[in-house]
């Protein structure tokens, strides 16, 4: 079991440098111990995840639109592999259509973030998501039915 | 005048521990590697006093006792929500302080301090977790579920469900059904 003394391990894949910097800032402002690793696209991310001796993250943030390998492809690949079954996956996108949200969850995402235009709002969302995910990891909830759309 | 000293940090630490434990009349046994066996249950106040006394020497008790208490709070709540056919109607604060023999104020503070959430919020999350299970496994209606989980109305259950998951119960059910079909066929 993880406790408050442990740190939460977060990965992010996003091709936009500003977005990455922003996420970094938002996560550093959280009151939790955290370790953050950033990737510039889905291909880099998947290569990293395939390494044999890494400590797998608690949560992975995936941008939907990335070159080489987009967020949806990464999601499918990760969910097809049992090694990653305990990682919660947060997808973010500019779409708020119910169908897109539903499809993303059906493919195995746990969290869907409709990206707001406002940075302050996004920061709050990231905090809520990391917190909810922490509750999920520390409270023995079922990952199969863990969904959070925000 | 300048003098030079030679000291053994480990030995010094043992002496400090012995002195402080004896001062507080705690029966104990010292082991190597920073492990102390405390023979009797000691009160929260004595524990706190011991902790404060040791902190002055930069000796810190790793917070197992608190982690254990938090785990007991969580276990009690999960048991209350999950292991009965219907949740008890007593208020949660009474239920917890009765079960754990500690004041609710104390439990509530310690919980908030270490879990990044509150007891109230933890209970909501657990109730919604149970609601999910009942929707999927038992195929119960929302009316039945709100009765089991002591919600005053279906509307209240739905709005709490939406707050915790961002989804309506029916969208949730649709997603789980489709996902299961996909996993089974894949």
The neighbour count for residue A81, using CB atoms within 10 Å, is 10
Contacts of B107 (CB under 8 A, 6+ apart): B69, B73, B96, B97, B100, B119
Q: What is the mean pLDDT of residues A94-105?
A: 90
Burial class (CB in 10 A: 0-12, 13-18, 19+), A59: buried
Q: Does A1 reside within a domain?
A: no
Query: B141 and B91 in one domain?
Result: yes
Does B171 lie in the same domain as B96?
yes
Altogether, the residues listed in chain A come to a count of 150
Q: State pLDDT tens for residues B24-74.
A: 988 888 876 667 888 777 887 888 889 889 888 888 776 667 878 888 899
Number of domains in chain B: 2
The residue ranking higher by pLDDT, A144 or B10, is: A144
Domain for residue B20, yes or no?
Answer: yes
How long is chain B?
186
Q: Are residues B76 and B166 in the same domain?
A: yes
Flag if A147 and B129 touch (Cβ within 8 Å).
no
Comparing CB atoms, the residue among A4, A135, A148 nearest residue B114 is: A4
Domain that holds residue A81: 8-149
CA-nearest residue of chain A to B127?
Answer: A141
Range of the domain at B51: 9-62
pLDDT digits (tens, 9 = 90+) for A37-89: 999 999 999 999 999 989 899 999 999 888 888 888 999 999 999 999 999 99
Strand order in the sheet with A8-13: A34-39, A8-13, A59-63, A88-93, A111-114, A148-149
Q: Do A33 and A6 form a contact (C-beta atoms < 8 A)?
A: yes
Query: How far is it, in rounded angstroms, from Cα B179 to Cα A76?
Result: 12
CATH number of the domain enclosing A104: 3.40.50.2300
Q: CATH code at B163?
A: 1.10.10.60
Residue A2: predicted pLDDT: 43
Tell me whether residues B174 and A102 touch, CB distance under 8 A.
yes
Indicate if B47 and B104 belong to the same structural domain: no
Check whether A3 has a pLDDT greater than 60: no
CB–CB contact A144 B182 (8 Å): no
B contact test, residue of A139, A140, A148, A150 with most B CBs within 10 A: A139
B39 and B77 in a single domain? The answer is no
Share of chain B above pLDDT 90, in %: 48
Asked whether residue B134 carries a pLDDT value surpassing 50, the answer given is yes
Cβ atoms of residues B42 and B26 within 8 Å: yes
Give the tokens for residue B150: 């002591």
Under 8 Å between Cβ of B160 and B124: yes
- Residue B1 inside a domain? The answer is no
- B166 and B83: one domain? yes
Identify whether A40 is part of a domain: yes
B163 contact A CB<8A: no
Residues 6+ apart with CB under 8 A from B172: A145, A147, B132, B135, B161, B165
pLDDT higher than 70, residue B107: yes
- Residue B85 lies inside a defined structural domain of this protein: yes
- Does the residue B4 lie in any domain? no
How many domains is chain A partitioned into structurally?
1
Token pair in block for residue B183 = 């996993």
A106 closest CB neighbour out of B74, B122, B179: B179
CB contact under 8 Å between A150 and B178, yes or no, is: no
Q: H helices then E strands: how many in chain A? A: 5, 6
Domain identity same for B82 and B53: no
- The rounded percent of chain B whose pLDDT value lies above 70 is 96
Angle value at C-alpha A60, between A52 and A8, nearest 5 degrees: 85
pLDDT at residue number A56: 92
Q: Kindly provide the ipTM of the predicted complex, given to two decimals.
A: 0.86
Domain's final residue, options B47, B62, B77: B62
Mean pLDDT in chain B? Answer: 88
């Amino acid at each position: 079991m993880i406790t408050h003394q442990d740190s939460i391990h977060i990965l992010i894949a996003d091709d936009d440098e500003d977005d990455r910097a922003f996420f970094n800032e938002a996560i550093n402002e959280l009151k939790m111990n955290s370790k953050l690793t950033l990737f510039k696209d889905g291909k880099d991310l998947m290569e990293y995840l395939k390494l044999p001796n890494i400590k797998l993250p608690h949560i992975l943030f995936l941008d939907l639109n990335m070159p080489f390998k987009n967020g949806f492809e990464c999601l499918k690949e990760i969910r097809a592999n049992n090694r990653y079954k305990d990682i919660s996956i947060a997808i973010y996108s500019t779409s708020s259509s119910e169908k897109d949200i539903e499809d993303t969850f059906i493919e195995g995402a746990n969290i869907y973030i409709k990206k707001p235009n406002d940075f302050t709002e996004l920061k709050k969302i990231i905090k809520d998501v990391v917190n909810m995910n922490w509750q999920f990891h520390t409270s023995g909830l079922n990952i199969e039915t863990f969904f959070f759309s925000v | 005048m300048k003098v030079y000293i030679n000291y053994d940090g480990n030995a010094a630490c043992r002496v400090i521990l012995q002195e402080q434990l004896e001062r507080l009349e705690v029966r104990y046994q010292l082991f190597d590697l920073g492990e102390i066996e405390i023979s009797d249950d000691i009160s929260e106040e004595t524990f706190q006093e011991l902790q404060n006394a040791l902190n002055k020497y930069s000796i810190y008790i790793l917070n197992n006792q608190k982690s254990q208490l938090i785990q007991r709070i969580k276990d009690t709540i999960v048991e209350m929500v999950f292991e009965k056919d219907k949740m008890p109607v007593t208020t949660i604060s009474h239920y917890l302080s009765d079960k754990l023999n500690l004041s609710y104020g104390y439990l509530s503070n310690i919980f908030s301090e270490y879990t990044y959430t509150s007891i109230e919020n933890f209970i909501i999350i657990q109730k919604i977790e149970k609601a999910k299970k009942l929707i999927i496994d038992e195929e119960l209606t929302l009316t039945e579920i709100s009765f089991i989980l002591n919600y005053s109305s279906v509307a209240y259950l739905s709005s709490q469900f939406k707050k915790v998951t961002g989804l309506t119960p029916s969208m949730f059910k649709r997603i789980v059904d489709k996902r299961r079909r996909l996993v089974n066929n894949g």
